Amino acid sequence: MAPKIKRLSFCFVLILAVIGLVFLFGAGIMNKKGSGKIVATNFAAFDFARAVIGDSSDITILLKPGMEMHDFEPTPEDIKKVLSADLFIYVGGESDVWVEKLLNDNEIKKENNFRMMEFVSPLAEEFVKDTKEDEHAPEEKDEHIWTSPVNAVKLVEAVRDRLIGLYPEKEQIFTKNAKIYTEQLKEIDNEFRDIANNSTNKLLVFADRFPFLYFTHEYGLSYFAAFPGCAEQTEASSNVIASLVGEVKGNNIKTILKIELTSDKLAKSIADETGAKILELNAAHNISQENFDRGVTYADIMRKNISVLREALKNE
Ligand SMILES: [Zn+2]
């Protein structure tokens, strides 16, 4: 009898172990679907999904930390991930024309697709007056929709609804997580709005690219920038430099702005000529590997921007 009992208890232990393993590996959000994942193109898309889900273990970000968003080209491996995703979250502007191609070829199914620009009101890209060659370009929608915290709230809520549709068993947790995050974003929005409303200066001067159209629009601010949108950065022409210096001096601007992950060469030359100081307003295109590993969020980046905005609008 002894060996049989032994074999039975061995079987029992084995079954327990299998149940344990299934439980462990099934703990992710896709335990019902098995093969799927959430794939996000850029940092904002990743951040909003992470906030709703509560962790990032089921989310893949295509844009590697530290990389320039507008230089992104998908690898065949990236395309494979996109095509096998439960949900593919992307912005849907100029940087994502490769996605439109996959959609047109019916390679991505509509139901697996989340185009962020559909959930906010897109604004037409604006150009600086000096870039004559752009005057005849067809109107494009500016893709930096996430730079407005008001849009960020809408996007988090839309991602939440979509994820609940995919994983209804997670409704409570997704609803709770989204509420916590959108409350943070609304506080940030209130801070920006207070600063803008209480400042007599409404002008921001960017010695850099300009990804903040949605941000300045939201808070009733005006801007002057060296380069339109995030167009391919070229050397600033002497006209552009002269205009920037003129704007800074003429409006008594004490702080000029640059954005994240770009050179500060132009900002430094404008600062040298005007005595203005340079601060960085972070558009959250992407974050460094170090900050990514630390779990820095879009909300963290925007909180840092609060003091920058306060400083940049002071002109006395
Ligand atoms: Zn950009």
- SS3 of 220-274: CCEEEECCCCCCCCCCCCHHHHHHHHHHHHHCCCCEEEECCCCCCHHHHHHHHHH
β partners of residue 89: 40, 114
10 Cα to the center of ligand 1, angstroms: 60
Q: Where are the domains of the chain?
A: 38-187, 198-313
Q: What is the CATH number of domain 38-187?
A: 3.40.50.1980
pTM of the model: 0.86
230 Cα to the center of ligand 1, angstroms: 4
93 Cα to the center of ligand 1, angstroms: 10
Are domains 38-187 and 198-313 of this chain identical in fold?
yes
18 Cα to the center of ligand 1, angstroms: 48
Using CA atoms, how far residue 191 sits from 99, 149, 163, 173, 309, in Å, is 35, 11, 29, 28, 10
138 Cα to the center of ligand 1, angstroms: 18
186 close to 165: Cβ distance less than 8 angstroms: no
288 Cα to the center of ligand 1, angstroms: 16
Q: What is the pLDDT of residue 247?
A: 96
The span from the CA of 41 to the CA of 126, in Å, is 24
144 Cα to the center of ligand 1, angstroms: 6
285 Cα to the center of ligand 1, angstroms: 6
Q: What is the pLDDT of residue 262?
A: 86
Residue 191: how many CA atoms within 13 Å on its side-chain side? 17
The span from the CA of 251 to the CA of 203, in Å, is 8
224 Cα to the center of ligand 1, angstroms: 16
69 Cα to the center of ligand 1, angstroms: 7
Span 198-313 CATH architecture: 3-Layer(aba) Sandwich (3.40)
Q: Which helix (H) or strand (E) holds 78?
A: helix 76-83
Question: Please, what are the averages of pLDDT over each run of 10 residues along the chain (316 residues)?
Answer: 54 55 50 64 98 95 93 94 96 93 86 95 75 58 97 98 97 98 98 98 96 98 90 80 96 96 92 97 96 97 98 89
β partners of residue 256: 278
24 Cα to the center of ligand 1, angstroms: 40
232 Cα to the center of ligand 1, angstroms: 10
